[in-house]
């Protein structure tokens, strides 16, 4: 299969992850997709293909040189975000994009417009893959999977091109912050690796958010509303009060660059019980710890006003900023920087306003920065993927392998 054929095939698999199952992988569809990819890896000619019980897929391309080149890894994830349906994805290729509005869905009048997404103007006269307006696309991260496999197939079909030992891995549940939880770094056996999980063409990232999740449960007392005076305790109103106590401009829609935030992701409630789910993000570790402390402080204030145990907090760290683990091995960034330049693309070194498997893997001893896979507007119906960006990402993988072998 070609790179494009691979990607279009992969997005036909619904692989949405689910943080509520307590399983790994969190959904069975991810394992089914991993089995299909495992078969393809064997057909392509990769060795030591192994799919473990948790849905982690590993494979190796043996070295074809005698000298002691570093062992390099490339990683992408199998799942798609639960923020939008990934079922029955129907991608469409907009050929030779003219710079105007793209009608995604006529019945729902859903339009991908450069007025809302000005980055579209970067891809005039290019072929762009879009959604039908009802699902996400899945470029995050099936583009990364397609790019890695296509690059590995190139080396297998061109044995005269020298390369060291290359390891690849595809992980489940990255979108729910669990992609590296059961990753076997020792078995992977690499000196360093790269996740192909970035966005816009040229992106090279080795700084990411420190991340935590917070679930606050508010307990109320339900009484007939006609006789509720001084008796009812409406958990929804208390939850609403809590929401208003957080800084209203420290949210995703008001922040960029290195600015952190509190993000309310879910409300579920009635008079008796209301649950709020937040994610907490900040690049700076001290500010990150301060944000978590503020959540606890506000929970305490609620309990002081409405009674002990009215609000309970479940707070969990998810991952940390990989910068402190990458800076001592900056040659890993230098190689990627040069590889992007050799592909005719200007590198864009920027902080990730999110996280990747590479963040957790870097803290497990595997330095693992992130490289663009080419997509935009991940996790929603306006997701799109310029085909030339995907082709350049594949070229970058090849270049990294070649540069490492030469050095």
pLDDT of residue 68: 84
The residue with greater pLDDT, 355 or 103, is 103
| Beta bridge mates, 45 | none
Show the 3-state SS of 267-310. Answer: EEECCCEEEEEEEEEECCHHHHHHHHHHHHHHHHHHHHHHCCCC
**Taking 80 as the threshold, does the pLDDT of residue 331 lie above it?**
yes
How does the average pLDDT of the chain come out, rounded?
A: 96
Among candidate residues 209, 208, 233, 230, the one with its CA nearest the CA of residue 219: 233
pLDDT of residue 318: 86
pLDDT of residue 319: 86
pLDDT of residue 97: 98
For strands 57-61 and 72-77, give the pairing.
unpaired
Q: At what angle do helices 387-406 and 139-157 cross, to 10 degrees?
A: 50
Residues taking part in catalysis: 79, 174
* Whole-number percent of the chain with pLDDT over 90: 94
pLDDT tens digits along 7-52:
999 999 999 999 899 999 999 999 999 999 999 999 999 999 999 9
Mean pLDDT of 247-258: 95
Backbone φ, ψ for residue 132 (5° rounding): -95, 10
Computed from CA positions of residues 398, 400, 401, 406, in that sequence, does the dihedral angle turn out positive or negative?
positive
In whole angstroms, give the CA distance from residue 103 to residue 12: 21
Confidence of residue 354 (pLDDT cuts 50, 70, 90): confident
**Taking 90 as the threshold, does the pLDDT of residue 357 lie above it?**
no
Enclosing H/E stretch for 353:
none
In whole angstroms, give the CA distance from residue 204 to residue 227: 61
In whole angstroms, give the CA distance from residue 25 to residue 17: 8
**Taking 90 as the threshold, does the pLDDT of residue 69 lie above it?**
no
Mean pLDDT of 176-186: 92
Enclosing H/E stretch for 362:
helix 357-363
Residues 6+ apart with CB under 8 A from 296: 313, 315
pLDDT of residue 76: 97
Residue ranges covered by each domain of the chain:
3-208+321-406, 210-319
**Taking 90 as the threshold, does the pLDDT of residue 383 lie above it?**
yes
**Taking 80 as the threshold, does the pLDDT of residue 355 lie above it?**
no
Q: Would you say 366 and 73 are in contact if contact means Cβ atoms under 8 Å apart?
A: yes
pLDDT of residue 243: 98
Class of CATH domain 3-208+321-406: alpha beta
Q: Is the peptide bond before 207 cis (omega within 30 degrees of 0)?
A: no
Name the CATH topology of 210-319. Answer: Alpha-Beta Plaits (3.30.70)
pLDDT tens digits along 268-302:
999 999 999 999 999 999 999 999 999 999 999 99
| Beta bridge mates, 261 | 281
pLDDT of residue 73: 98
In whole angstroms, give the CA distance from residue 148 to residue 193: 12
pLDDT of residue 298: 98
pLDDT of residue 123: 98
Confidence of residue 174 (pLDDT cuts 50, 70, 90): very high
In whole angstroms, give the CA distance from residue 323 to residue 209: 10
pLDDT of residue 158: 97
Q: What angle do CA 240, 241, 242 make, to 5 degrees?
A: 90
pLDDT tens digits along 198-232:
999 999 999 999 999 999 999 999 999 999 999 99
pLDDT tens digits along 80-135:
999 999 999 999 999 999 999 999 999 999 999 999 999 999 999 999 999 999 99
**Taking 90 as the threshold, does the pLDDT of residue 407 lie above it?**
no
* Whole-number percent of the chain with pLDDT over 70: 100
Confidence of residue 352 (pLDDT cuts 50, 70, 90): confident
Show the 3-state SS of 130-160. Answer: ECCCCCCCCHHHHHHHHHHHHHHHHHHHCCC
Enclosing H/E stretch for 28:
helix 28-44
Q: Would you say 133 and 375 are in contact if contact means Cβ atoms under 8 Å apart?
A: no
Q: Per this entry, what is the length of the chain?
A: 407
Q: Would you say 357 and 180 are in contact if contact means Cβ atoms under 8 Å apart?
A: yes
């Amino acid at each position: 299969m070609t790179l494009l054929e691979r990607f279009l095939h992969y997005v036909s698999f619904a692989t949405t992850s689910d943080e509520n199952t307590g399983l790994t992988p969190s959904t069975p569809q991810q394992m089914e997709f991993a089995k299909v990819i495992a078969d393809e890896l064997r057909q392509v000619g990769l060795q030591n293909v192994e799919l473990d019980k948790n849905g982690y897929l590993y494979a190796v391309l043996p070295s074809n040189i005698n000298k002691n080149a570093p062992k390099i890894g490339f990683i992408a994830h199998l799942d798609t975000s639960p923020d939008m349906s990934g079922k029955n994805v129907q991608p469409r290729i907009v050929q030779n994009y003219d710079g105007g509005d793209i009608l995604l869905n006529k019945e729902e009048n859903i339009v991908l417009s450069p007025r809302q997404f000005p980055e579209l103007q970067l891809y005039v006269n290019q072929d762009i893959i879009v959604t039908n307006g009802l699902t996400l696309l899945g470029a995050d991260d099936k583009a990364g999977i397609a790019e890695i496999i296509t690059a590995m197939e190139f080396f297998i079909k061109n044995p005269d091109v020298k390369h060291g030992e290359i390891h690849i891995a595809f992980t489940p549940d990255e979108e729910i912050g669990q992609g590296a939880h059961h990753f076997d770094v020792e078995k992977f056996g690499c000196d360093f690796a790269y996740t192909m999980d970035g966005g816009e063409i040229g992106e090279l990232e080795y700084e990411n958010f420190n991340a935590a999740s917070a679930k606050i449960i508010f307990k109320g007392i339900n009484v007939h509303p006609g006789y509720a005076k001084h008796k009812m305790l409406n958990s929804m109103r208390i939850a609403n009060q809590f929401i208003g106590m957080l800084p209203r401009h420290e949210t995703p829609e008001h922040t960029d660059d290195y600015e952190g935030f509190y993000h309310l992701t879910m409300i579920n409630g009635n008079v008796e019980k209301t649950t709020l789910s937040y994610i907490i993000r900040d690049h700076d570790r001290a500010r990150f710890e301060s944000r978590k402390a503020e959540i606890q402080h506000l929970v305490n204030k609620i309990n002081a006003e409405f009674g002990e145990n009215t609000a309970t907090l479940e707070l969990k760290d998810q991952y940390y900023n990989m910068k402190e683990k990458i800076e001592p091995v900056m040659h890993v960034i230098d190689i990627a920087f040069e590889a992007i330049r050799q592909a005719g693309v200007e590198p864009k070194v920027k902080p990730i306003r999110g996280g990747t498997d590479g963040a957790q893997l870097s803290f497990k001893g595997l330095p693992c920065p992130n490289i663009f896979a080419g997509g935009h507007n991940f996790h929603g119906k306006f997701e799109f993927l310029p085909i030339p960006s995907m082709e350049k990402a594949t070229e970058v993988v090849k270049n990294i392998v070649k540069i490492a072998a030469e050095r």
